[in-house]
Chains A and B, each alone.
Chain A
Amino acid sequence: MWNKLFNYLGLAVAYFGFNFKAQLEYRTAFVSQSFAMFLNDCIWLVYFIMFFDRFNVLKGWHAEDVATLWAVTAAGFGIGHSLFGNSLGLARIIANGDLDGWLLYPRALLPHVVLGKMSASSFGDAIFGYVVYLVVVKPDLPHFLLFTALTCSVALLFLGFSVLTGSLSFFIGNGDSLSEGWRNALIAFSTYPMDLFDGKTKLLLLTIIPAAYVSGFPVEALRKLSLLHAAYSLLGALAVVATAAIVFHLGLRRYESGNMVAMRG
């Protein structure tokens, strides 16, 4: 059991290095894409801070809180998708029948597939998250450690969410745009404070658009240095990952039956 876990961790590290090397083959594109995403995030952040400041949107919310919200969301998204880049394109991989190749390897399919690529723009998101948190919020050590842990939990959630939405392709044909639309909805909700939404909407954000675990709980955890809120976030992430794994494997059965893409070969 432990041996196997360490073996997979070793494989993951090998893939990170390998993917990074592949990105560096096109250094200019890699740098310009990550930098553009970094800049993009900065533009939004400045805009939001101005917005919240000018219109007094939510009592008790200040520039620092807006920055924390963006930092944890962007860093989580960035870590999740830069290291596990294939999760972003999973819908298309499934619809094109490209899982075939991955099925030939002696490895657990899902973890292996998502490791297979790195996303340059997501790399920019990750950098942005940490830079903003360090520069704008200027945390002390406990806050920074909690932030780091939370970004990993959020990364796990995004990874699971992308796998979950991407797996729709097993059932509906090419679910690429639906997967993207759903993910964008999650991001849209995650970039605003939870308190803006009423009870029913909050229920939605705890379930099918799980933004509460992306920014809601993490921001509270960081504002109050509350481990309880951090635990909520982690639990949410684990639930999403578990659901994703189940849906993916149900879908894989359809894939293996060949009926999903009947008559392709």
Chain B
Amino acid sequence: MSALKKYWAIAWISAKSNLAYVSEVWSRLFFLAVILYVFMCVWKATFANNPAGRFEGFTLNEIVWYLAFAEAIIMSSPRVTPLVDEDVRTGAIAVQLVRPLSYPLYRLASNFGEQIVRFATTFFAAAVIAVVLGGVPDNFATGLLFALIVLPFAFVLDFLGYLLVGLSAFWFEDTTGLALIYSRLTMIAGGMLLPLELFPENFRLVLKGLPFAYIVNGPAGLFVHPDLTVLGMVLVNQLVWIAVFSLLVAAVYRKALGRIALNGG
């Protein structure tokens, strides 16, 4: 229990310190407004050319809300890779070994605290913008409830991926390129710009088999189309992928520690 408290405290501090960067919040919200507006224009034009009024069950309003939620997830993802990369290169990760903390859990806690704050501010603004652009969606309350159930797991999954990229600094001279590509995969394969349901059939099947779908598309999809079966399926997939990523992190971390021991820190 006391171990849990420790990490909770880390998450809390990280959340609080993130609130201090007010100008960063404002410029994030400014960019968010721009992006949502651009999407809105693009989809308006698209719907105008397709008089059916729905794409695979999505109305214009639902698409806007889906994008708002998905964008809020992506934009709230803290940039943890450069931090881990630096810890590896400066040897700070070795210093962590003498503290009564697990390095991955420490990073997880601090990442989690930061992401919750960032998500809350970003989503609040996104919701205001979406109401202005499209109005209140149906099933708002149920959708939000379902989405919030799966969101913490989405954050953990998101974090584990970036942690792995950061830990690769043990072997690669530079991780910024890898982190860039990985973040793009999360955006596109996760369904940030376009719900996975709107991808061509064969694409969709592949993407639903990847972890990214359960970081972005899972929560955002549940938000606009709350459904108990889907909720269960998203949760199962998230837990499976978290288990897989955790095993990977454990293996990579153990190997990395071996390298520290070899190099003497």
Contacts and interface: CB of A to CB of B under 8 A. Distances in A.
- In the complex, A touching B (Cβ < 8 A): yes
Interface of A: 26, 28-29, 32-33, 35-37, 39-40, 43-44, 47, 50-51, 54-59, 121, 172-175, 177-178, 180-182, 184-185, 188-189, 192, 196-198, 201, 209
Contacts of B172: 28, 32
Contacts of A54: 198, 200
B239 to A, nearest CB: 28
Q: Can you list the 5 inter-chain pairs with the closest CB atoms, starting with the nearest?
A: A36-B177, A181-B27, A29-B174, A32-B177, A185-B34
B34 A174 contact: no
A189 B34 contact: yes
Nearest to B26: A178
Given A40-B180, A181-B28, A185-B31, A47 B188 contact: yes
B141 interface: no
Contact of A51 (B174, B184, B194): B194
Contacts of A44: 184, 188
Contacts of A189: 34, 38
A201 to B, nearest CB: 7
Question: For the complex, would chain B's binding face be called helix, strand, loop or mixed by DSSP majority?
Answer: helix
Interface residues of B, number: 34
B188 A28 contact: no
Contacts of A185: 30-31, 34
8 contacts: A32-B176, A37-B177, A51-B194, A56-B46, A58-B49, A177-B21, A177-B23, A201-B37
B178 interface: yes
Given A43-B185, A178-B30, A182-B30, 20 more contacts: A26-B173, A26-B174, A32-B174, A32-B177, A36-B176, A36-B177, A36-B178, A36-B181, A39-B181, A40-B181, A47-B193, A57-B49, A172-B23, A177-B21, A177-B27, A180-B27, A181-B27, A184-B34, A192-B42, A198-B41
Contacts of B31: 181, 184-185, 188
A174 B184 CA distance: 28
A6 to B, nearest CB: 37
A184 B21 CA distance: 19
Interface in B84-118: none
Nearest to B175: A32
A58 B45 CA distance: 7
Contacts of A121: 176-177, 180
Nearest to A37: B180
Given A37-B180, A188-B34, A188-B38, A57 B45 contact: yes
B57 to A, nearest CB: 15
Nearest to B173: A28
B27 A182 contact: yes
A257 B188 CA distance: 48
Contact of A35 (B177, B184, B188): B177
A188 B35 contact: yes
Contacts of B26: 178
Contacts of B200: 50, 54
Contacts of B49: 55-59
Interface string B120-139: 00000000000000000000
Contacts of B174: 26, 28-29, 32-33
Contacts of A172: 23
B227 interface: no
B50 A55 contact: yes
Interface string B214-247: 0000000000000000000000000000000000
Interface string B200-211: 100000000000
B117 to A, nearest CB: 16
A59 B48 CA distance: 11
Contacts of A37: 177, 180
B41 A197 contact: yes
A128 to B, nearest CB: 13
Interface string B152-190: 000000000000000000001110111011001100100
A198 B198 CA distance: 26
Contacts of B27: 177-178, 180-182
A174 B173 contact: no
B41 A57 contact: no
A181 B200 CA distance: 32
A127 to B, nearest CB: 14
A57 to B, nearest CB: 5
Highest count of chain B CB atoms <10 Å: which of A55, A184, A197, A209? A55
Given A47-B188, A185-B30, A178 B23 contact: yes
A33 B35 CA distance: 25
A220 B186 CA distance: 33
